[in-house]
Amino acid sequence: MKAYLILEDGTVFTGTSIGSQREVISEIVFNTSMTGYLEVLTDPSYAGQAVVMTYPLIGNYGICHEDMESRKPWPDGYIVRELSRIPSNFRCEDTIQHFLEKYDIPGICGIDTRALTKILREKGTMNGMITTKAYADFAEPISRMKGHSAAGVVMKTTTKETYVLPGEGKRVALMDYGAKDNIARSLNQRGCQVTVYPADTPAEVVLAENPDGIMLSNGPGDPKENVEMIQEIKKMYQSDVPIFAICLGHQLMALANGMDTYKLKYGHRGGNHPVKDLETGRVYISSQNHGYVVDTDNLDPKLAEPAFVNVNDGTNEGLKYTGKNIFTVQYHPEACPGPLDSGYLFDRFLKMMEVKN
């Protein structure tokens, strides 16, 4: 069936419908990863967005449920150049077409994703519509697109109940703001007992359990929307518990301490972004998925110091808080998909908890 991608600037791409055939309006973003499309689809940070995969062939090794980063896929829509209809891999359990249909995710294939990505890079991230309806006049759908915004996506993705991954080592409280499973897994593999809390859990409840450390997870949406969570993080900051934060957690910790965040023109999404450790000068290749960053132009060194910087555009990629056992990063040390260069940050967190005790 024929499908259309309509952007709010009036650009129209014509292709073939994949997945669900329902109409959807969403923010259109692109991911530059060459592999790991299942991990991208099941990353809760994509809630409220439709994802363009810049790599031209998607689905060639099918679906392996073991590789999922959460219980279900989260994007509003999926946009690819070519969809492999016949996957080939010894671990393959399903096709990506059936996977999208099962979870009611609309998509489009057969369009020029290179041209689409260039538009998003030049004009910035914008809303768009995936539809199988042939509109004679685009004024009405474009009007709806311009009024669209994703809200409440953290509470949409977070766990509904507290649960525990048993371990014999340090006890870590993981605040789930839309966490990828590999964050808890990375801690658990290092011997930690990980207690995963819903995003709206009061700080008093978490601190009452006397954890050895607190982990603030990644997640979707505009960080400034999460006013109540920011207030709870401020209470965690004021405790003496070591804290490690990733992505949205990094932004929320900054906002809790009076810093500001702003939206990037088209974000950082992919498994090939270079970040520089300002302490050692070493550059790591990182996995990233974010549209907002922390503004460090007027950062008070008495509060925190930049720890990492994006080599491509100079934006902040991490903070070390002065006088506190707290460090935060904008990128994903747990990767999936992406390189494992930054996995050592979990070991750094463990050492912080050892020193605390």
Establish whether 77 is an annotated binding residue: no
Establish whether 49 is an annotated binding residue: no
Q: What is the DSSP string of 111-156?
A: S-HHHHHHHHHHH--EEEEEESS--S-SHHHHHHHHT----SHHHH
Distance in angstroms (rounded) separating the CA atoms of residues 332 and 16: 33
Q: Of 27, 39, 232, 247, which one is the catalytic site residue?
A: 247
Q: Of 8, 69, 317, 334, which one is the catalytic site residue?
A: 334
Q: Which amino acid, one-letter code, is at 102?
A: K
Residue pair 23/151 in contact by the 8 Å Cβ criterion: no
Q: What is the dihedral of CA 133, 135, 140, 141, to 10 degrees?
A: 40
φ, ψ dihedrals at 300, nearest 5°: -80, 115
Q: Give strand pairing partners of 316.
A: 309
Distance in angstroms (rounded) separating the CA atoms of residues 45 and 101: 21
Establish whether 21 is an annotated binding residue: no
* DSSP helix/strand/coil, 341: helix
Establish whether 262 is an annotated binding residue: no
Establish whether 314 is an annotated binding residue: no
268 flagged as catalytic: no
Establish whether 258 is an annotated binding residue: no
Q: Which amino acid, one-letter code, is at 321?
A: Y
Structure-token pair, residue 167: 């371990």
Residue pair 220/249 in contact by the 8 Å Cβ criterion: no
Q: Of 192, 273, 332, 336, which one is the catalytic site residue?
A: 332
Cβ-count burial 110-122 (b if 16+ within 10 Å, e if not): bbebeebbebbee
Distance in angstroms (rounded) separating the CA atoms of residues 4 and 20: 13
273 flagged as catalytic: no
**Of residues 269, 271, 273, 268, the one with CA closest to residue 283:** 273
Binding residues for L-glutamine: 45, 219, 221, 248, 251, 289, 291-292
- Catalytic positions, written as ranges: 247, 332, 334
